[in-house]
Structure 1
Amino acid sequence: MSNTDAATAPSLANEHEEYIWMQQLQEPEQVKYQLAAWQINPQPDSAILHKSIHSLLQMHMDLNTRYEFTADGDLYKYPDADWTACVQNEQAPQGQVTELLSILAQQHWQPETTPPFLASIISTENSIILALRLHPVLAQQYTLAELIEAIQSSYTKFSGSQQRFELTPIDLSSLNPPTAQQTQDNNTAALAGIILAEFRNTLAEPNMTLDDDFFDFGGHSLLATRVIGNLQNKHGIKLNFNDFFKSPTARALATIAQQTQPVAAAVQAPPEQQAPLTLAQDFLWQAYSAFDFSPIYNLPFAIEFQQPVNEAALQQAFKDLIIRHVGLRTLFKTAQQQTLQYTVPVTELKHYQWFWPSSDSNDATLATEAAYKFDLTRELPLRIRLFKAANGHTVLSFLVHHMVIDEWSLNTIMADLNLAYAARLQGKAPAWPNSVPSIHEFARRQQQNGINQQHLDYWRSRLQGAVTGLTLNPAAPAAENTTPQVAWRQIDFDSAFHHNISAFAKAHHASIFSVFYTAIATVLQKEGNLQEIVIGTSASGRTDPNYFDTVGYFTTMVAHRIQFSPQQSFASLLADTSEQINESMTYADIPINYIQQAIGIPANQGLMFDVYIHIHTNNALNGQLSTPQGAIPYRQILPERNESMFGLHFEIMENQINNQHNLSMIITYQAHRYPTAVVERIAHEVKQLLSELAVQISAPSASQ
């Protein structure tokens, strides 16, 4: 390692730094920058002054450090090589210098983003003022007097003169404390900066500004969940989903954000071989058992690669994922009426078959793979099989059991697969950007903490006494037989529709999902002359940001009680529905079986809703693998739908392929209960209503 590498490598903070960091965290108003300012005479050469400050920062790199508390429970400091972050150039009339210095004195230190040393060069109409700020976190190593002396000495050396510039100290004792409004404005500006940084990081959009709309840059509800969690977890900034849709810019969100204490990071426990089920897994296991462990909870993902792939590298990349994510190497065993999950040690993976190359797949099909019946007590909960399609392309069947994965996890898996495949093509192991706590660790913590009674009470208060199920117009034709059968149909929308319905949603401070959801509810209300309906949907269940990158089954079913009023406009119903959906996300860690038990619904009565609506946004199964020779695009192959837990299941598919947005909706239905003619009519009316809403946005521009 070179001296430069050693100088910029992260290191543990010392005891004083840890103490000040904690004090800053607990009492930010009491721990402030030390400030001193001097008028420089005669006016210095600006380039040499900057060079002198740069020299100081090169000599003492800890003046430009950032501090981060890691998942291991340690406080690390990271030197930043960009010295310009420590230097600010300001301009002010001579009469406003005192006011500017007062503002500088009140600014807060953000350990993860702001250096503990700052130099402000203030230009007035007839003078240059140099203000230095030093945070107490470095007070043991430096004083402001020593730092200004070092800058002055460097200036003399670089200017080639033996005469040092004169420094006239500015008396800061007369600085007036900022007004309450100034303090609030400063706090709001600081919050806006933190929120913007989280936007940029989450969306990979480094050029976003304070006034850019989160959703215009590819943001959606799952990413909003990540931003909200990270802001709360890292910075103690509290926001909710309704805030996002009503005020989707960093500047606007900063005005309504609440500042609390950051959430303590989860300390990753040593892996243990066994763990209980999570609450969500326990509910799913009960349902899985009720279906006699049939393939109903198989997730048969399939993609087609548009260019040749290296099968050996792909197998090794998937093995990297299985090692990294403990949930993918989990067995489930029941004893004494308790089901536990067990980790398969990495050293024992060779005893399990989970990958089949295309050369071993001649007698298999996507359909036979999808119908495979897992024995989760004896085999890994995933099967990777490659096929050769008739067009010569490679098809990947990624069959995984729902007990160990949800849709959020799929995004993580595909991102990690891309990183691992690129590394294996070069004969290297992947360098993961972070370590991830396991689903088993989460299960143990959840068992220790128990169910959140406040969250359970939220659902009880909203769903007690609700009308369950769905009854349509008695005039609807009866099904031809009562034998369970499932059918499905797909509705496609063009790219112009996506643009217009997005604009409609934005104009009403709602998401595309909320618009579709409300349109479906409106059509069902007319079809059955309903006073209210309970509709189910999916929530990520990840209310703890520490587990955002954990692969596992966290998803919960959320029930919303939609009540209809005579003469209520679509816009009004949309506002009510969107408000309810977004508000409920905070409480979405409670599995539906606990909610139904709390409101008195017997376990043998089944789910309280017969209609289920959810959205697949930015589907991770349409993407590309990175290689040194270029990207390998892949596209999803939709599975056949021949089983369904719900009478009517609406899936909204929102994808972006080749920079082209598209929307479709798949309706899966139990045809023995809802005749095809009825479903066709519902589908037609939903599409017609959505098209009319989209026209409301496009019509004005068309007439101009």
Structure 2
Amino acid sequence: MLTLNTDSAPSIANEHEEFIWMQQLQEPEQVKYQLAVWQVNPYPDLAILHKSIVHLLEIHSDLNVRYQFTDDGDLYKYPDTDFSACIQTEQIQEKQLVTLLAQLMQQSWQPETTPPFLVTVISTENKVFLVLRLHPILAQQFTLDDLIQEVQAAYTSSTGVPHQLELLPLDLTVLNIPDTPAQPENTESLPDIILAEFRNTLAEPDMSADDDFFDFGGHSLLATRVIGNLQKNHGIKLNFNDFFKSPTAGALAKIARQQQPAVSAAEVQPDQSAPLTLAQDFLWQAYSAFDFSPIYNLPFAIEFQQPVNEEILHQAFNDLIIRHIGLRTLFKTDKQQTRQYTVPVAELNQYKWFWPVSDSHGVTLSSEAAYKFDLTRELPLRIRLLTADNGNTVLSFLVHHMVIDEWSLNTIMTDLSHAYAARLQGQAPVWANTVPAIHEFACRQQQNGINRQHLDYWRSRLQGAKKGLTLNTDAITLPENTAPQVKWLEIRFDSAFHQHISAFAKLHHASIFSVFYTAIATILQKEGDLDEIVIGTSASGRTDPNYFDTVGYFTTMVAHRTRFTPQQSFTALLADTSEQINESMDYADIPINYIQQALGIPDNEGLMFDVYIHIHSNNALNGQLNTARGAIPYRQILPERNESMFGLHFEIMENQINNQYSLSMIITYQAHRYPTVLVERIATEVQQLLNDLAKQASA
């Protein structure tokens, strides 16, 4: 039975449609989609291109119908007003184009479920291709040439284009399609392929096959990007433990497993709404439980060290909101189901999200951080400029966690620098690549559902683990006031510490994060005489490299179970910890609520861990806007901490300023449960242990 979005009644098919339908039924191999492909010049605005295709589908309802043969012997066609099945997007390397086109040519038509007209927008490194497929059942009504001309006309006449942007007409170049896909010869060796990915990811063109990835600024998030791109583009399979044990291109090539890379399946392109991702759904549930309070605000703030142009900054952020549709998303709940809705570019001027210095009198970073969003009717970000006591401009970038994670912040700050430089020259930014939307990821994830194998991985490792954390507080007088109270303190390490602790980590095939993690676990074990502990941490959640540059909330919380044994050395515990963390990265797409449900933990019991540790690698809030007129450095302003989901929250801050690395750690804690004197002692002992490890490496 057909289930369609439609406001129109079905109609009976004509004789031609009946003939083709019968031929399709009897000889499906003889009735194929007609296919044509055009290269689009110049690089188009993809949102407006999508809108133009939707316009075509709206005025020609027969392009999006389904056919069904009734019990009465009649063939009916049913119109559908949901256009997502007609429009697909692909992001590939250009060398994969011929293979992908061959796959599209072979796709079969299913009259009851597949539209007779399909559009695929293909983005490569710096080109866009438009593929139209038309089934012969519509051959009497439409031609591919007429349809592409209508798309072209709709694009050129599109309204709602931002006044800063100049919309150029589409120049379409027809491409000839070979009968069989050419098989490119792979003349590159494995070390060369891996080295090329190192160089591209780290922007280090002079790296050699014997150079250590981590010596050139590599860290775990960048390693994720390298591993994903090697798998996607070259079929080269690596894991995190490989990476840390053999961090050169030459060494990795000896243990890499290579297979033929697969072209990704066509993605679903939503119109203006989409479900929540699994990670967003978990966050929304927690957000709702806190009565939609500011607890999930992310109050970023930076201070510019040199003058910055406010209007240009406004334009640059507007470019980002247009490019990353997650930043222009609303959330609405109907019948206990929450969906995310894209605000069209043409309607952005209806929303207030930017305040210059002149509109910020009396406003502080603290008052901004405490703002309570109404995500059903306002954009999930607020950009406000303030003036510091020294006269410098301060940027308050308040954004809701539902639409951004830390990985996204790195993307945003990079894109902001690019857009600011372009706008200073009076030009719109030209992006090196198109960015798929998190809405697209959400639709695909909903189709695929939970990976049961990955869920079983976590269940087998956490079954029977002890929840929470119990420390020895017998000699400590607990505060009489048991009302929730959050405090924080900061640990700073000297300038040489980063170099020495990096050397220690490298010696033991571990990351800086694993060393800190193990040091914290060691001190907590001592304070509580623990035989095991479950610690939570963050994982990027981006197991699909197609979405590495997508701004959105992908992050998942993962839980690791650390067991302690008598006389266990620190290095042995470090090895176990590193192995566990690195191995689990491939399974980090499962939100913690699904894991806890699989373990039989009721939702009302909260999280199974009370300790949370994560690292801000190469903190993006300490950097500079690179422009043709010179660099504008900026430095992070740490927010006040007055709310925390965790009893003990350890944040490791890795900063790079003027090509110099430094490390610090912030401990946020629930003071009504963990007294300040206890947390201060833990902080001192962790700092001392880490300094001792650094000294070992420097000796």
Is TM-score (shorter-chain normalized) higher than 0.5?
yes
Structure 1 691/138 Cα, relative in aligned 2: closer, same or farther at 3 Å?
closer
**Post-superposition CA distance 1:2-27 (Å, at most 9, x none):** xxxx9xx99x999999369989xxxx
Q: Is the 8 A contact 1:298 1:370 kept in 2?
A: yes
Show the 5 A alignment for 1:148-167. Answer: none
Aligned to 1:505: 505
**Equivalent residue number for residue 239 of structure 1:** 238
Do the aligned residues in 1 keep the contact of 2:331 with 2:340 (CA within 8 Å)?
A: yes
1:628 aligns with 2:628: yes
Conserved in 1, the CA contact under 8 Å of 2:211 and 2:248?
A: yes
TM-score (norm 2): 0.74
**Structure 1 unpaired stretches of 5+:** 1-5, 24-66, 75-134, 140-185, 700-704
Answer yes or no: is the 8 Å Cα contact 1:21–1:137 preserved in 2: no
Q: Deviations over 1:235-255 (max 9, x none)?
A: 110101111100000000001
Asked whether the 8 Å contact 2:498–2:662 carries over to 1, the reply is: yes
For 1:8-407, list aligned pairs within 5 A: 18=98, 190-265=189-264, 267=266, 269-407=268-406
Distance 1:602 1:239 in 2: 36
Shift in CA distance, 138/243, structure 1 to aligned 2, threshold 3 Å: closer
1:484-507 per-position Cα deviation (integer Å, ceiling 9, x unaligned): 000000000012111111100000
| Structure 2 counterparts to residues 436-455 of structure 1, below 5 A | 436-455=435-454
Q: Cα distance 1:267–1:138, how it changes in 2: closer, same or farther (>3 A)?
A: closer
In structure 2, C-alpha distance between the alignment counterparts of 1:431 and 1:479, rounded to whole Å: 58
| CA distance 1:571–1:379, shift in 2 (3 Å) | same
Provide the C-alpha distance between the structure 1 equivalents of 2:614 and 2:321, rounded to a whole number of angstroms.
Answer: 28
TM-fit CA distance, 1:351: 0.7
> Gaps (5+ residues) in structure 2?
1-38, 44-91, 104-123, 132-180
Check the 8 A contact 1:266/1:546 in 2, yes or no.
Answer: no
Amino acid at match of 1:661: Y
In structure 2, give the amino acid aligned to 1:483. Answer: A
Indicate conservation of the 8 Å contact 2:360/2:385, yes or no: yes
Residues 311 and 574 (structure 1), Cα distance of their counterparts in 2 relative to 1, 3 Å cut: same
Structure-2 change in CA distance of 1:137 and 1:498 (3 Å): closer
Deviation at 1:479, TM superposition (A): 2.3
Secondary structure of 2:634's counterpart equals strand
The answer to whether the 8 A contact 2:357-2:384 is kept is yes
Separation in structure 2 between the aligned mates of residue 453 and residue 402 of structure 1, nearest angstrom: 27
CA distance in 1, matches of 2:190, 2:127: 22
1:136 shift after superposition: 7.2
- Superposed CA deviations along residues 217-252 of structure 1, whole A, max 9, x for unmatched, are 000000000000000010110101111100000000
Give identity over the alignment, percent. 77
Whichever residue aligns with residue 440 of structure 1, its letter is H
Q: Residue 681 of structure 1 aligns to which amino acid in structure 2?
A: R
1:687 aligns with 2:690: no
Superposed counterparts of 1:427-442, under 5 Å: 427-442=426-441
Deviations 1:616-637, CA, capped at 9 Å, x for gaps: 0111111111222101001110
Aligned AA (2:490):
Q
1: CA distance between counterparts of 2:222 and 2:554?
A: 16
Q: State the 1:567 CA deviation.
A: 0.6
Give me the whole-angstrom Cα distance separating, in 2, the residues matched to 1:478 and 1:439. Answer: 49
- 1:646, 1:669 within 8 Å by CA — same for their partners in 2? yes
Q: Deviations over 1:378-404 (max 9, x none)?
A: 100000000111211110000000000
Name the SS for the 1:495 alignment partner: coil
CA–CA distance in 2 between the matches of 1:250 and 1:504? Answer: 21
Displacement after TM superposition at 1:261 (Å): 3.2
Aligned 8 A contact 2:268 2:443 in 1? no
Counterpart in the other structure of 1:463: 462
CA drift of 1:265 comes to: 3.5
> 1:415-435: CA deviations, max 9, x gaps?
111111111111111001111
Aligned to 1:698: 698
Q: 1:698 to 1:334 in 2, by over 3 A?
A: same
> Which residue in the other structure is 1:532 paired with?
532
What is the CA-CA distance between 1:660 and the residue it aligns to?
Answer: 1.4
Whole-angstrom CA distance in 2 between matches of 1:657 and 1:684: 26
SS in 1 for 2:630: coil
| Number of the residue aligned with 1:35 | none
State the shift of 1:271 in Å. 4.5
- The structural deviation recorded for 1:298 is 0.2
Question: What is the letter of the counterpart of residue 560 of structure 2?
Answer: H
State the one-letter code of the partner of 1:445.
R
Contact 1:556 1:592 in 2 (8 A): yes
- What is the distance in 2 between the residues matched to 1:68 and 1:681? 52
**Does residue 473 of the first structure (1) align with residue 553 of the second (2)?**
no
Specify whether residues 344 and 569 from structure 1 end up closer, same or farther in structure 2 by C-alpha distance, changes over 3 A only.
same
> Aligned in 2, Cα 1:429/1:677: closer, same or farther, shift over 3 Å?
same
Amino acid in the other structure paired with 2:476: P
What is the rounded CA distance, in whole Å, between the counterparts of 2:411 and 2:322 in structure 1? 14
Structure 2 counterpart SS, 1:341: strand
Once the two structures are superposed, the pairs formed by residues 612-651 of structure 1 within 5 Å of their partners are 612-651=612-651
The amino acid across from 1:416 in the alignment is D
Residue 243 of structure 1: SS of its match in structure 2? helix
Deviations 1:463-514 (A, max 9, x none): 0000010001142524212110000000000121111111000000000000
Residue 270 of structure 1 deviates from its aligned partner by 4.1
Show the counterpart of 2:46. Answer: none
Q: Aligned partner of 1:18: which letter? A: V
8 Å contact kept, 2:532–2:563: yes
CA contact (8 A) 2:94 2:125 kept: no
Structure 1 residue 342, shift from structure 2 partner: 0.6
Cα 1:525–1:453 shift into 2, 3 Å: same
8 A Cα contact 1:518 1:573, kept in partner: yes
Mapped to 1, the partners of 2:362 and 2:307 lie a distance apart of: 22
* CA 1:431–1:523: 2 relative to 1, 3 Å: same
* Contact 2:492/2:663 (<8 A) preserved: yes
1:508-523 aligned within 5 A: 508-523=508-523
* Structure 2 residue identity aligned to 1:280: A
**What is the CA RMSD across the aligned residues, in angstroms?**
2.6
Equivalent residues of 1:246, 1:509 under 8 A apart? yes
Contact 1:484–1:671 (8 Å) recurs in 2:
yes
Whole-Å separation in 2 of the counterparts to 1:596 and 1:137: 47
> How many residues in Structure 1 have an aligned counterpart in Structure 2?
542
1:332 maps to a residue whose letter is: F
Q: Distance in 2 between matches of 1:658 and 1:209?
A: 24
Is the contact between residue 537 and residue 614 of structure 2 (CA under 8 Å) also seen in structure 1?
yes
Q: Deviations over 1:273-331 (max 9, x none)?
A: 11110000000000001111000000000000111111111001100100111100000
Contact 1:476–1:678 (CA under 8 A) maintained in structure 2: no
Partner residue of 2:602? 602
User: Contact 1:268–1:437 at 8 Å: present in 2 too?
Assistant: no
1:569 aligns with 2:649: no
SS at match of 2:396: strand
In 2, the alpha carbon distance for the partners of 1:601 and 1:539 equals 21
Q: Which position in structure 1 is the counterpart of 2:672?
A: 672
Per-residue CA deviation, residues 107-159 of structure 1 (Å, 9 max, x unaligned), is xxxxxxxxxxxxxxxxxxxxxxxxxxxx97699xxxxxxxxxxxxxxxxxxxx
**Compared with structure 1, are the counterparts of its residues 681 and 20 closer, same or farther at alpha carbon in structure 2 (3 Å cutoff)?**
closer
SS of 1:631's equivalent? strand
Counterpart residue type for residue 368 of structure 1: S
Contact kept? 2:325, 2:342, Cα under 8 Å: yes
1:211 partner SS: coil
